[in-house]
Chains A and B, each alone.
Chain A
Amino acid sequence: MLRLDRVTKRYGVGAFGGTTFTAVRDVSFAVAPGEVVSLIGESGSGKSTIGKMILKLIPVSEGSITLDGTDIGAFARRRRKEYYRHVQGVFQDPFSCYNPVFKADRVLRMIKEEYFPRVGRAEWDERVAAALESVRLDPGAVLGRYPHQLSGGQLQRLLVARALLLDIRYLVADEITSMLDASTRIDVLNLLADLRARGLGVLFITHDLALGNYISAKTVVLRRGEVVEMGETGKVFANPLHPYARRLLASVPQLHARWDGDEDAGAAGCALHDGGHAAEGERLAEVEPGHFVACAGAEGGCAAATDGGRAKAVSHRR
């Protein structure tokens, strides 16, 4: 289980790092093996920051990220390298992930150099062929080519194949389809969903609700670094209770329906304060089994919220 516990990330900005900017605040959720969790948020929501913290590309300010109970924060060079055997990432822009001066399959070679230096050539080629087949890539079409000779979809899949060479357990997919054409997007997604059968846990970071809804079992909706709603995908999408989540859902252009006049009439107050489901000190209320909602904030019409949209009432925070 890959678990985030009250993870917070702060940056010092301004001259001399005086002001603090909180990119991620008090975020907790988990990804189980064989499960796809989508992390949905718009730009500035902190979703990429969370992805990078899980991948240990940036350090956590507060809170912890644990893999099967072990806190990954303390991992230094050698243990971090071991960690990467189990957790890998794929990013948004396939073309910027590849160093343009080298061939595309160099990303595979880097893995061999660092993790499998003693594996023989023939065996390595077999493993590569197997990994490429898992992502439905033809070895002849991608090996030996430069990044600009391959399409975005192929490059993304090659990155997934690279991750598979390591026999990973969790994959962080950060907006991997945003730069792909619509027709290739769905194939890459199907691939992720198929990988679940191998026991792979996927954190699917995206701003596209339709995609998140398509493949994930659980959804976490993020806004300005905080979780506003999370739970089983079906429940969250069928009945969003947080005003932000509702607004987001209403703005998605649908294929067979046009936007109506003014959507989101009748947002129903604050699920956290009014519903009374919240346990003492919790940020999120479990409004139904497997469906959690945060305070709607002052702008969402919560009477109990103070100070610009975030409940500062003591009873809500440990």
Chain B
Amino acid sequence: MTTSDTGSSAGSSAGGGAPGAVAAPGAVAPAAAGGPAVRGTVAETLYFALRNGKLLTGLSVLVLLLLTALIGPLFLPPDPNAYVGLSGRPPSAEHWFGTTHFGQDVFTQFVYGLQATFLVGALGGGIAAVLGMVVGFTAGYRGGVVDEILNALTNVVLVLPTLAVLLVINAYLGVRSVAVQGLFIGLTSWPWAARAIRAQTLSLRSRDFTDLARLSGVPTWKIIAREIAPNMSSYLFMTFILLFGGAILIGASLDFIGLGPTHGISLGLMLNNAAQWSALHLGMWWWFIPPGAGITAIVGSLYVMNVGLDEVFNPKLRET
């Protein structure tokens, strides 16, 4: 089929790399459909977004935890590592999540830990996303020698045993902060994002509207920023979410093996402490279950959200 099918597909795939979405033939009325256009597409996306169970569930859990992390500290004592109670007490009215072996309030630690975890995720994920985009767009758009070089770089960083490198680096750093941890995670987890973005860019680059932009004398960086990236916006969004989740997991792993921040607290650090002080053996479940569940909840909800978003952005996956 010719004009009307492909026309509708171009309209409804805005904001997503979803080619070939077929809308109802005849629904496109030339110059008579009136106002709703991208507004219609955004509205359409929102419509599906609000009806997607996975997206809503994931988002709710995430927002709940985020709010806890942001607002909680306002109501809690400033130092999560303070010794406030009797050691090893199970959850009670006074200490909602009980106390640690040292008499620290687990709930306070949990809330501050959430904060640190989110920070690591945002920093690590953000830096990785930026790096991934820069490398991916450049390699995908320029091709040729530039592509080869960047590919080589990507491959090298990809095969680096990230954890081992981070271990070594972290071990050498005397003082470690959450920000530095986030930075290093960001610097090592961008390759797969770069690869994915490069692949998408390669395909978008060969589309006619990119050619048209070149024919209009538009410089390369503008083409990437204005033509290619907006067409991948959903993809970039989802990539960021995955990087965010990934950064949290790596951060938690580092914390767990004792290379976490030297000050403050994080969920992984809580798990580390719990393990070191035999919480499992001693039956102090309230010490390690909340942080574990916290990490699982954050990352899990992110991934579930991502699956939901994929359905929202890709018309073919929707169930109408």
Contact = CB atoms under 8 A, between A and B. Distances in A.
A100 B208 contact: no
B31 A91 contact: no
B208 A91 contact: yes
Given A101-B230, A145-B31, A150-B30, A114 B10 contact: no
A141 B29 CA distance: 12
Contact of A101 (B6, B29, B38, B207): B38
A152 B38 contact: no
Main secondary structure of the interface of A (DSSP, over half): helix
B231 A114 contact: no
Contact of B213 (A110, A145, A149, A181): A110
Interface in A129-166: 141-142, 145-154, 159, 162
Contacts of B31: 141-142, 145, 149-151, 154
B209 A84 contact: no
Contacts of B231: 99-101
Interface in A102-123: 102-103, 107, 110-111, 113-115
A149 B37 contact: yes
B7 A81 contact: no
A237 interface: no
Interface string B129-154: 00000000000000000000000000
B33 A100 contact: no
Interface residues of B, number: 35
A34 B271 CA distance: 79
A96 B214 CA distance: 14
Nearest to A98: B209
B3 A152 contact: yes
A107 B10 contact: no
A110 B11 CA distance: 20
Contacts of A52: 211
A107 B216 contact: yes
B215 A100 contact: no
A180 interface: yes
Contacts of B7: 95, 147-148, 150-152
B37 A146 contact: yes
A94 to B, nearest CB: 8
A181 B10 contact: no
Interface in B208-243: 208-209, 211-219, 227, 230-231, 233
A101 B12 CA distance: 9
A75 to B, nearest CB: 12
B201 to A, nearest CB: 14
Given A145-B37, A149-B30, 8 more contacts: A55-B215, A91-B211, A96-B10, A103-B37, A115-B217, A149-B11, A150-B31, A180-B3
12 contacts: A81-B217, A89-B215, A96-B208, A96-B209, A97-B212, A101-B14, A110-B216, A111-B216, A148-B7, A150-B7, A152-B2, A179-B3
The 3 A-B residue pairs whose C-beta atoms are closest, nearest first, are A148-B11, A146-B37, A152-B3
